[in-house]
Every structure is written in C-alpha cells, then in structure tokens.
Amino acid sequence: MSRKISLLDRAWLDIEQVQSNLYRSLDDEIFLDAAAYHLQQCVEKMIKYVINASGRQFSQTHNILELCQQMDSYSVSYPDWIYRESSVLISYSESTEYSENLIGNKNKIEELLDLAREWYDEIKQGVIATKASVQCSYLLADMETKLKVALQMLDNGQPWDNITKVTGLTRDDLNID
C-alpha cells in the first residue's frame, strides 16, 4: 500500500539528509556540498508547500528568489531569512549541480539548517492546528444536527428512549429535567 508524500514530508527527508551529511562531512568535505544541496531542496519544498497550502500554484522553478517573489505576490508570509539568504541557497543548488569546486560552509549550513528546522516546525504546527480546527468544525456540525433532530423529536412528543436511539443524546446532554 502506498501513501502520498507531501512536499512537507519530503522537506523533512531533506532535513534528515542535511544532518546526516553534516555528520559525514567530518570524514570527507564532499558531504558539505551534499548537505548544502539538500538544505536548498528543503527550503524550496517548504516554500512550495506553503504556496500550495494557500490555495495557489507554485512556479516550476528551483530559484528561491523567484519563489519568494511569488509568495510576495500572493501575500503569503514566510521568514525574512529566506529572502535574505536566497542567493546563498541558490548557489547551493547551482554549484553542487554544475561546479567541480566545493562550496559548502559548515557554519553557514548549520545556521540555515536551524532556521529551516524552526520554520518546518512552525509549518507543521499550523498543519496540525488546521486539521484540529477542521475536526472541531465537523464535530460541531454533527452536534448541531443531532440537537436539531432531538428538539424536533421533542416537539413531536417522542419519548427520550427514541431520541437517544436516533441521536445518541440523553436528557443530561441537553440539561433537560
């Protein structure tokens, strides 16, 4: 059985790759470039996830600056550091794909990873809060329907046993003596 993997899930996988590659870079600097690349990918995927979550379509680009401009045009908020560090993130993507020179700077990658992880947590909390809000809305709508049915049955003189069977509500639920 396969499940859908969201861009946010994929961003988390990139965070895991950054962490792993930073650790492995202690033995070989080439892993700093892999960490830098996955850091750029992580931020790109979170941006695209947020754009999608706002009900908009994201551009088919890997350019962080262009995606920031797109978020601005949609009035979608994002952390200031992303725009400020967009040229660094873009260089991580372009240099690791097209250059033979190592470009990763461990301190910078760690700094940006901490910021990316914070934003990921904020997005994730928003997703959880949104899901909880939707569930509450369904529960309230369900309860409202049950109350309407129960009150209608009471108006029609139905006994409480029947009302409870149909709605699941009891006299105590409605504070009726």
pTM of the predicted structure, to 2 decimals: 0.69
CB of 39 within 8 A of CB of 13?
no
What is the Cα–Cα distance from 39 to 45, expressed in whole angstroms?
A: 10
Question: Cβ atoms within 10 A of the Cβ of 108, count?
Answer: 16
For 59-84, the DSSP string reads: PS---HHHHHHHHHHTT----HHHHH
- pLDDT tens string for the chain (177 positions)? 677 889 999 999 999 999 999 998 877 888 888 899 999 999 999 999 999 988 889 989 999 999 999 999 988 889 999 999 998 888 887 766 666 666 678 899 999 999 999 999 999 888 655 555 556 666 677 777 778 888 888 888 888 888 888 888 787 777 766
What is the Cα–Cα distance from 122 to 114, expressed in whole angstroms?
A: 12
